[in-house]
């Protein structure tokens, strides 16, 4: 049993983004690629000597092999213990909970979240810090710096243990504990929600469909929804994790979760529908014949959170990412709590949660969560909705209608233009940024520009500043659009255009979303000069 010190050299492009390092699977499978990045994680955090880590992933192709490498490298770098999910599986929120519960020194999560998986698809690795949340910029910058100066990596010549077998084993003097990936998380959910009330809801004949999208949440949903809460067998569909997610795209939105949409829009639809993504941190919420946007879901959950035991005493505050609609801000004013607008990336919520300044957080990209972990949590959002439906004894449609009648409705959509030539995408953003001051006061169709902002965020806890986080064009009356380049793709650039049209309570709150947004879509495309700048006339995905 020896530690092998292997000479290496820096590999270009190993800069972690908001969600770690994501590349095509063959890139990660190249000799030394995983080893270089994992060694750089250990070096970037000051070494692994004497430390404990959580390791797990969403089960995508290459997940098990990469975990074996990470375990052997942790041992060679002096770690004393690694906690890993059986079969290498851990949802991202479950991993965050294990980091916090076991007071570990962080965790390495293998996932590309909602991106496709498979031999030619996407893969990712990220480091979560001891609070359970994604590494902040100062940590990812240290990891990146290590990738540019690495000269050797350390790995044990002892084989990694069989991850299918629960229990303890030894790898070169380091303890490896293979655990049930579901049990700790399920226990936590039982402390947050009124499981008896949800059981009674199902007992009254309430029906639902949960689409796990062949991803990691399947075992969690089977255990909690069907076995613990008494939902009918078959409530969970596509519930067995697959290395290529059943050949699908595990992104819970109306485009990729079409099977669920078709079920919920049928005459025989169940009362409630939901889906989660590849690593279990995102969610989509539906009622019979109704899609609830993630922005609206955050606002409605905030307005009704006190129906769940964990939040019965009220919320300290709520936070949303900048592109998320302003719907939750109106709820915060009504509740008399603080609301925070942060850049995109769950890591920006961490300080607010740790400081007790926010209780709920959410992103328009289908992420919602609370202070129970430091990641967004798809199944948590579903359970909170079930708790609210059980407590209020109303349908999702009735709750939505009452909410909009009180606060008005922020009609909302996101248009994604994927794999755009990077130079053309940068030119679009640079041109709009330069034009922002001159747009103020101009009228486009029915909209007059109230402000143009290059969004910058100053963290109210530690004072750190994050500049150039997206461009916002806001109009009189509360409508707006925002533009930013996404960091979650693996090729080209993805332009995200966020569109929001506010309708006051006395307005028409039942319009189809595309009709309600038609004017602001036309104006936004015109202002950003979309066709000329990108050659595109329509988005690849609308959510």
Residues with catalytic annotation?
113
On whether the CB atoms of residues 280 and 321 are closer than 8 A, the answer is no
On whether the CB atoms of residues 448 and 475 are closer than 8 A, the answer is yes
Angle at the Cα of 21 (from 47 to 67), degrees rounded to 5? 65
Least Cα distance to 342 among 357, 362, 328, 359 occurs for 362
Least Cα distance to 86 among 215, 190, 211, 219 occurs for 219
Q: At what angle do helices 378-392 and 92-101 cross, to 10 degrees?
A: 90
On whether the CB atoms of residues 371 and 386 are closer than 8 A, the answer is no
Least Cα distance to 327 among 288, 301, 290, 354 occurs for 301
On whether the CB atoms of residues 361 and 374 are closer than 8 A, the answer is no
Chain center to CA of 88: 20
* Those residues with Cβ within 8 angstroms of residue 424's Cβ, 6 or more apart along the chain or in another chain: 533, 534, 535
Least Cα distance to 273 among 238, 263, 298 occurs for 263
Dist. CA 368–CA 71, nearest whole Å: 31
On whether the CB atoms of residues 135 and 19 are closer than 8 A, the answer is no
* Those residues with Cβ within 8 angstroms of residue 134's Cβ, 6 or more apart along the chain or in another chain: 18, 19, 20, 126, 127, 128, 345, 346, 347, 350, 374, 375
Residues paired with residue 454 on neighbouring β-strands, in sequence order: 471
């Amino acid at each position: 049993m020896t530690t092998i010190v292997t000479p290496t050299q820096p590999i270009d492009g190993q800069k972690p983004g908001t969600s770690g390092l994501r590349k095509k699977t063959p890139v990660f499978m190249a000799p030394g690629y995983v080893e270089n990045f994992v060694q750089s994680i250990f070096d970037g955090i000051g070494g692994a000597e004497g430390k404990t880590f959580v390791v797990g992933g969403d089960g995508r192709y290459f997940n098990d092999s990469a975990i074996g490498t990470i375990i052997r490298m942790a041992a060679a770098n002096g770690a004393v213990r690694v906690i890993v999910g059986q079969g290498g599986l851990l949802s991202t929120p479950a991993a965050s909970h294990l980091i916090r519960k076991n007071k570990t020194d962080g965790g390495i999560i293998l996932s590309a979240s909602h991106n496709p998986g498979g031999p030619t698809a996407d893969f990712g690795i990220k480091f979560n810090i001891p609070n359970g949340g994604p590494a902040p910029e100062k940590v990812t910058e240290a990891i990146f710096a290590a990738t540019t100066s690495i000269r050797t990596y350390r790995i044990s010549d002892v084989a990694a243990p069989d991850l299918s077998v629960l229990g303890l084993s030894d790898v070169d003097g380091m303890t490896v504990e293979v655990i049930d990936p579901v049990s700790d998380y399920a226990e936590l959910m039982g402390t947050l929600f009124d499981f008896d009330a949800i059981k009674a809801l199902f007992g009254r004949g309430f029906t639902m469909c949960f689409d796990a999208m062949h991803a990691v949440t399947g075992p969690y949903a089977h255990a909690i929804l069907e076995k613990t809460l008494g939902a009918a067998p078959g409530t969970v569909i596509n519930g067995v994790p697959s290395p290529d997610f059943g050949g699908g795209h595990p992104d819970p939105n109306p485009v990729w979760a079409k099977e669920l949409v078709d079920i919920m829009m049928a005459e025989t639809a169940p009362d409630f529908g939901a889906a989660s993504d590849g690593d279990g941190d995102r969610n989509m919420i539906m009622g019979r014949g109704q899609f609830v946007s993630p922005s609206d879901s955050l606002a409605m959950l905030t307005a009704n959170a006190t129906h769940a035991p964990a939040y019965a005493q009220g919320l300290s505050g709520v936070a949303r990412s900048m592109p998320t609609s302003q719907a939750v801000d109106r709820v915060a004013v009504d509740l008399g709590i603080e609301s925070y607008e942060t850049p995109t990336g769950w890591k920006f919520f961490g300080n607010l949660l740790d400081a007790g300044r926010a209780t709920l957080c959410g992103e328009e990209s289908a992420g919602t969560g609370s202070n129970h972990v430091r990641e967004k949590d798809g199944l948590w959002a579903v359970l909170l909705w079930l708790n609210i439906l059980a407590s209020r004894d109303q349908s999702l449609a009735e709750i939505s209608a009452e909410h909009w009648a009180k606060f008005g409705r922020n009609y909302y959509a996101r248009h994604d233009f994927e794999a755009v030539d990077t130079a053309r995408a940068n030119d679009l953003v640079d041109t709009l940024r330069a034009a922002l001051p001159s747009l103020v006061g101009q009228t486009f169709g029915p909209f007059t520009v109230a402000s143009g902002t290059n969004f910058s965020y100053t963290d109210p806890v530690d004072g750190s500043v994050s500049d150039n986080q997206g461009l916002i064009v806001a109009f009189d009356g509360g409508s707006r659009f925002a533009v930013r380049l996404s960091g979650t793709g693996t090729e080209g650039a993805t332009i995200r255009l966020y569109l929001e049209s506010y309708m006051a309570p006395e307005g028409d709150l039942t319009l189809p979303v595309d009709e309600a947004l038609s004017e602001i879509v036309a104006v936004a495309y015109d202002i950003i000069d979309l066709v000329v700048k990108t050659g595109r006339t329509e988005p690849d995905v609308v959510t």
